[in-house]
Amino acid sequence: MKNKNALKCFVGVNALDEIASKDARICVMNILGNESKKVTPVSHEFSGGNVVAGVQYGRAGKLETAIGDIPVYSRLADVMKNHAFDTGVIYLPPDAVYHAVGELCHYNKKLKKIVIITEKISVKDQRLIRTICQVNKVDVFGANCLGVADSWNRVRIGGALGGDRPDETLIKGSLAIHSNSGNFSTTIAEYLKTEGFGTTTIVSSGKDVIIQFAMTEFLYAVQNDPRTKAVVLYVEPGGYYEREALAMIESGNLVFKKPIIVCVTGRWKSNLTRSCGHAGALAGSGDDALAKEKWFDDYFGGKEFDPAKPGNISKKGVRVSSIQQIPLAAKALYKKLGWGADFEAKGSLGLKPWFGNDFGLNLPLELRLPTVEAIAPYNEEIASVNKQLGVTHLRQNMRNKSGASRINAATQVAELHNVPIVELISYPLESNILFTLIKSHPEKELLPLVNICLNYLAYIDEFESSVLSKAKENQATPNAAIASVIALQGNNKIFRKAQKYMGVLLSTFSTIGLRDINDSIDLEMANKVASNLILENGDNATGFTNYLNKKVDGLLRKSPVLQFGQNYLEKNGVEDANLFMIVTVLLHTSFQSLVYKKISRETVENLLSYLTIMAKAVMLTSINPDKNKLLKAIRMQEDFSVLETSFAETAYQAIFNERPQSTNLKEFSSLLALTLTNGPGTISAKGAKESVSARNNISAAFVGFLTNTGLSHGGNGYEAVKYLLNAFKDLNIDDPAKPFDADVLKELASKKAREFLDYKNQAKLKGVARYNRIPCINHPVFKGKRVNIDPREDFIRKRLKSENIENVCWDYYHYLVEALYAVGATSNIYCVNIDAVIAVISLKLMWPLYKNGTLKESSMQDIGFLIFLIGRTVGVSAEIADHRDRGQDMDCRTPIKETKYVV
Amino acid sequence: MQITGMKYGMPIIRLSEFPVPQILEENATMEELESLIAKRGKCVVKPVFYGGVGKKGKAGLVKIVSSAIEAIEAKKQLFFAKHFFQNQNIQANGVTYEEFIPSAYEVYFNLSVSTVSRKVNFTLTHNGGVDIEELTPDEIVESSFDGLTGLKAYHIIDALTEINAPREIISPLAQYLPRLWNLYNDYGFTTLEINPIRMENRKGRLVPIACDFKAQFDQDNVHWKRLKLPPEIFQTDISPFEAEINQLRTYQGQSDVVVINPQGTVTAFMFGGGANSAATEVLSEKATISSDFGGNPPYEKMYQIARITYKYWLEQSNVLLIIGGKANNTDIFITFKALSDALRDYTVQHGRPELYVVAGRGGPNLIKGMTYARDTLDSLNIPYKFFGYDTSMIDVVHYAVEIDNWFRKK
């Protein structure tokens, strides 16, 4: 049956099944754009290959799909030479859409339809598009829509109706959908399934000010489509499209005899004076949601659908208050008309949380919804994801970026994993080592185990020793000497074995579904899983293993990870029992971070590699390991108890070759914490990141860092050491930790301030602008007030003072800035900055060696540099892990346009 | 994006060379005022409102004065005048003194896009000075024309003849009104209204003078920017939050926001225009904002949107709602990851918010996205419920409302 209609405009499609027909052939404009390149292949494959070609201005090529490549041309004229098509799909940016419509109409006289996906096209372009398409007799769908689809024809044109799984949504049935919302086009189709209804054709109309294929055209095509029994309309405020269509039906100018289910939303939007969401969904006084509801109610001769009285509806159709009522309304309408559903109802729309956790909130019973298993196939996906441990980051260009460190713009304090480094001074080195990689500090109870592991891994063999010696003999700088040994590590067989062990443990726990370190597991089942995954038989007990196991047994509570490790080792044994138990301990420390998706599985699998390199680097800073009892004992590994030594002490002894006092150790750890990071822009971090970017392994990334550091590191701090030594040369300070006469220090500060003032004035008289300033005072961010304080310095000073840790050098610095102001050398009291902190702590630590003549002034710079190297080696491991997780190959390249040639 | 009044309207109308009266602003001197009034023996004093504000005359906010003293008195009354328009109380911020144009006719003229004709329509009557809605069809004409060729003199002549307009006004209006089409077409208007146009007798020939102005601009048409309007004109339209989010606006959308209630307790990330309409309606005054972040936003943009949204609204919110239907194209993993990461960073900076997270969503990478958000919230100890697309979206919003009610009662 054909309509004898009096449509006021051109409508090319006569019946609904022509909108997304099997024989439609399509050309996609901007086919390689971000959205199209994802959506077009799915549409093409679902529709059996209906896209004949695409256009990407200036860039010919192809778009790969599972059923063959789609050729891509750089202009439409070239498509016309090689292909025939009747439908254009436009994904271009808004300003280009009108031009593309003109191009399509100009070149293709057989064009029947254009589907415009783009949103935010100006109203002017929309009306011009309408004008030229009406003249050229072309139907337009959109803009700002998701295209059209036909469940009977299995064809989808344009946008992503049905998402990435169109088969799930586009189920054959008897209802046609016309929706102002692209998302609701799919969502309504999904909802309809719950009462056994499928669809014929779905039109996502878009909701711009001008709707090109509006309700009138749609109903006209529906009437001529025998497959469609009824229609579902989703309508938003703004525009008179619906009033026009209903008026045409009632006046007989449009023959339409099928029932309508309509959902009008947006009553509340009448309160808004600006559009949000759909550009055209802003109503005037006569076309708001209430007005639209009335148009339909008048047409139906009824009121809003009442689910409690489903029979109380008109045969012409019914209006529902929300889209969730559409399936029920369809059921009621079909029943009224004596029709059955299209198929068996599937599922329900009731509240079904797939995930939930109330964290003990005392919610009323009706809100305490238990989680339910998700519908297939999502339930299987959830089960599979639940087995995955660790985060997966989006890969991106990580040049000059970091997900590990930053300088907080407000405080100017460097942060590692969102923790200011000034807070990290409270933790010993061993704890911070773990923190850089697992993003949380291990519990105190675990630190002895961590120390055992680090000291064990710090082992330097004879060959490595000889490499280090040779490097030193050749006057390699300390960083280069250390790098030469680290470079040897590659991805050695111990690393590989550890990765394998860790991989097996992770797979075992993900398979058995361990989601919390405090849960319990079925050890037998875990054993079975692990046995299937490897593990070669071998040793189950060595001296070290037994020792480590005893320490593990001494823990207040053994986690399932530790229980399993011990149990597996005892029952099966492995080739390298020591390594296996260390890996087990490391997994125990990192498991919660893994579960909470703070860190990646890859980082955990490589945890032993990272720790080994860091531990070895510490040992390699040792100036004379053979003359240090502790280091020798660690190397010999005859008495395992020596491995319990705090790794901070190991590092201290490596540098200073003597046992630290407890206060010294605390300050030493603070110093290392302060040097952990200074953000991703430092050349040390960049060295590591660039190495990762070139796809090097972990040890080479550390080498990248090491070779990107040098004696200029800590330069200002070293200047401060020199300055202080010079200032103190006439004072007899035995120990900077002991109180010194404050008056003497103040007098000295005053003298030095006056000297500086004289020097400064002389320099100015001579016109010397770049005279030598006093190092480590003032900071561009923390100056300008009468009394300036660097909050980082202030925080650390107060923290150490509260623990009665004194430092004469530090006090002197404060007297000095006050004296400089008092004598008029500075306009306000400068702050003592963070570099000064590093200088005064390291000077204090070096003081005894300096006083007893062991350490010459010239060697002090080396020590300062070595301290920096240890701290930064630890910090940079976070950058390496982060860049490996997030970065892309070669992402640290500098674009050519940023490079310069100089003469 | 609307403006009304001659303060900003006059320079715009002048671009089309359509005649305008002399206009003085509130800082006019006594001499200038006296000179203006001396022209016609009186002048019109009107309050200046930002945004689109009508019905000023009906509200008694237009004063006709015949001396500079009276003009200053009128200024005092109108400078900060309050006006209730479209359910909002609006306050004036200044006045204009406008030349009085004696005229036997008041003409109404409007150009705007019609959703009936899907073209630009013009509406014209010489029976102005009343609500045009009150006119009978034979007193006013609304007609469309070809958008490619534009409004021509014959359209005006035909229209005025149809409603029996006096002959003496037909020719001058046919001469001048088409000029407004070029203005409309070239500068991104969606509505341009001159009401009234008064017909001044100049040496025996009537000349139309534009005596008031109303305009609405298309945000998606950059040509309105060529008018170089001062930004404060639209200040009533945009809150600081909206302004910050708008900096992220691109042609792909993904960042439409409107503040609903600055005291609201449910902050909703709505995905898609449909979800926006439906959720805004259910939440109404409970919502801090109405939003549409659909359109497959990239990670960095979604993260920034979330960061800004949390900064403004999280502290006061009981419920963070993430709502949308079954997404066609929007990557759920990317959006949920960005929302989760921003929440984690917010928590690091500000401490754990007392909040319940409710999400209802479907679409590509759904499980990957939901499990990421689940793990993040688990680690932050923030309670949550996530619903798949097999749960009614509206029911999910209602559930969020119930959770909010419970928090409010706590």
Does the pLDDT of residue A734 top 90, yes or no? Answer: no
Residue type, B206: L
Superfamily of domain A16-24+86-336: Succinyl-CoA synthetase domains (3.40.50.261)
Chain B contact for A193 (CB, 8 A cutoff): no
Asked whether the beta carbons of residue B119 and residue A597 sit closer than 8 angstroms, the reply is no
Asked whether the beta carbons of residue B274 and residue A93 sit closer than 8 angstroms, the reply is no
pLDDT, average across residues A594-602? 88
Taking contacts as CB-CB distances below 8 angstroms, the residues of chain B near A127 are 113, 118-120, 147
Does the pLDDT of residue A50 top 80, yes or no? Answer: yes
- CATH assignment at residue B401: 3.40.50.261
- For testing contact with chain A, the best of B121, B122, B246, B392 (most A CBs within 10 A): B392
Could you tell me the pLDDT band of residue A277, with boundaries at 50, 70 and 90?
Answer: low
Minimum distance, in Å, between the CA of residue A381 and any CA atom of chain B: 7
Q: Of A178-182, A451-455, A570-574, A867-871, which has the strongest mean pLDDT?
A: A451-455
User: Residue A535 gets which letter from DSSP?
Assistant: P
pLDDT computed for residue A608 by the predictor: 98
A184: nearest CB among B52, B325, B329:
B325
Chain B contact for A372 (CB, 8 A cutoff): no
- For testing contact with chain B, the best of A191, A268, A515 (most B CBs within 10 A): A268
Which of the pair, A756 or B82, is modelled with greater confidence? A756
pLDDT, average across residues A346-365? 91
B379: nearest CB among A349, A364, A596:
A596
A residues 257-296 closer than 8 Å to B (CB) = 265-269, 271-281, 287
pLDDT tens digit sequence for A487-542: 999 999 999 999 999 999 999 998 888 888 888 899 988 988 888 776 577 777 78
B161/B298 same-domain check: no
The burial of A351, by beta-carbon neighbours within 10 Å (0-12 exposed, 13-18 middle, 19 or more buried), is given as middle
Give the end of a domain, one of B232, B249, B270: B232
SS3 labels along A160-199: CCCCCCHHHHCCEEEEEEEECCHHHHHHHHHHHHCCCCCE
- For testing contact with chain A, the best of B328, B348, B349, B368 (most A CBs within 10 A): B328
Minimum distance, in Å, between the CA of residue B9 and any CA atom of chain A: 20
pLDDT computed for residue A1 by the predictor: 43
Does the pLDDT of residue A450 top 50, yes or no? Answer: yes
- For testing contact with chain B, the best of A134, A205, A276, A418 (most B CBs within 10 A): A276
Minimum distance, in Å, between the CA of residue B14 and any CA atom of chain A: 22
pLDDT computed for residue A265 by the predictor: 86
B225/B254 same-domain check: no
Chain B contact for A181 (CB, 8 A cutoff): yes
Closest CA to B206 of B175, B172, B174: B172
Does the pLDDT of residue B236 top 70, yes or no? Answer: no
pLDDT, average across residues B380-389? 93
B57/B174 same-domain check: yes
Residue type, A715: G
Helix (H, G, I), strand (E, B) or coil at B307: helix
Q: What sign does the CA torsion over A296, A297, A301, A304 have?
A: positive
Taking contacts as CB-CB distances below 8 angstroms, the residues of chain A near B1 are 274
pLDDT computed for residue A2 by the predictor: 46
Q: What is the C-alpha separation between B308 and B126, in angstroms, rounded?
A: 51
Taking contacts as CB-CB distances below 8 angstroms, the residues of chain B near A304 are none
Chain B contact for A234 (CB, 8 A cutoff): yes
Size of interface A-B (CB pairs under 8 A): 290
B195/B105 same-domain check: yes
Mean pLDDT for chain B? 89
Q: What is the C-alpha separation between B19 and B22, in angstroms, rounded?
A: 10
pLDDT tens digit sequence for A455-482: 999 999 999 999 999 999 999 999 999 9
B346/B295 same-domain check: yes
Taking contacts as CB-CB distances below 8 angstroms, the residues of chain B near A287 are 115
A663-672 burial, b at 16+ Cβ within 10 Å, e below that, comes to bbbbbbbbbb
B200/B223 same-domain check: yes
The residues facing A73 across adjacent strands are A55
Give the end of a domain, one of B232, B265, B298: B232
- For testing contact with chain B, the best of A42, A123, A179 (most B CBs within 10 A): A123
Mean pLDDT for chain A? 91
Chain B contact for A139 (CB, 8 A cutoff): no
Give the end of a domain, one of B174, B208, B232: B232
Q: Where in chain A is the domain with CATH 3.40.50.261?
A: 16-24+86-336
Instruction: Indicate the number of domains in chain B.
Output: 2
Q: What is the C-alpha separation between A839 and A861, in angstroms, rounded?
A: 10
Output the CA angle B185-B190-B194, nearest 5 degrees: 85
Chain B contact for A361 (CB, 8 A cutoff): yes
B251/B365 same-domain check: yes
pLDDT computed for residue A563 by the predictor: 95
B396/B287 same-domain check: yes
Chain B contact for A423 (CB, 8 A cutoff): no
Beta strand B213-217 with B256-259: parallel, antiparallel or unpaired? unpaired
Parent domain of B320: 240-409
B24/B43 same-domain check: yes
Q: Say whether pTM exceeds 0.90.
A: no
Chain B contact for A556 (CB, 8 A cutoff): no
- Say if CB B131 and CB B117 are below 8 A apart: no
A445-467 burial, b at 16+ Cβ within 10 Å, e below that, comes to ebbbbbbbbbbbbbebeeebbeb
pLDDT computed for residue A284 by the predictor: 61
B395/B277 same-domain check: yes
Chain B contact for A661 (CB, 8 A cutoff): no
B93/B20 same-domain check: yes
Which of the pair, A658 or A688, is modelled with greater confidence? A688
Q: What is the C-alpha separation between B350 and B347, in angstroms, rounded?
A: 5
Chain B contact for A247 (CB, 8 A cutoff): no
Closest CA to A594 of A698, A503, A696: A503
B86/B138 same-domain check: yes
A350: nearest CB among B294, B334, B391:
B391
Taking contacts as CB-CB distances below 8 angstroms, the residues of chain B near A42 are none
Taking contacts as CB-CB distances below 8 angstroms, the residues of chain B near A128 are 147-148
Q: What sign does the CA torsion over A854, A856, A861, A862 have?
A: negative
pLDDT computed for residue A270 by the predictor: 58
A557 to A445, A513, B41: CA distances (angstroms): 10, 20, 97
A271: nearest CB among B87, B282, B348:
B87
**Token pair for A218:** 């749609």
A351: nearest CB among B251, B299, B395:
B395
pLDDT computed for residue A102 by the predictor: 96
DSSP string spanning A614-675? HHHHHHHT-S-GGG-HHHHHHHH-SSGGGGGS-HHHHHHHHHHSSPPPHHHHHHHHHHHHHT
pLDDT computed for residue B116 by the predictor: 92
Does the pLDDT of residue A274 top 60, yes or no? Answer: no
Asked whether the beta carbons of residue B273 and residue A354 sit closer than 8 angstroms, the reply is no
- Helix segments in A20-122, DSSP class H: 34-46, 76-82, 94-107
Closest CA to B251 of A120, A182, A115, A124: A120
Minimum distance, in Å, between the CA of residue B402 and any CA atom of chain A: 8
A residues 5-64 closer than 8 Å to B (CB) = 9, 35, 38-39
Taking contacts as CB-CB distances below 8 angstroms, the residues of chain A near B334 are 394
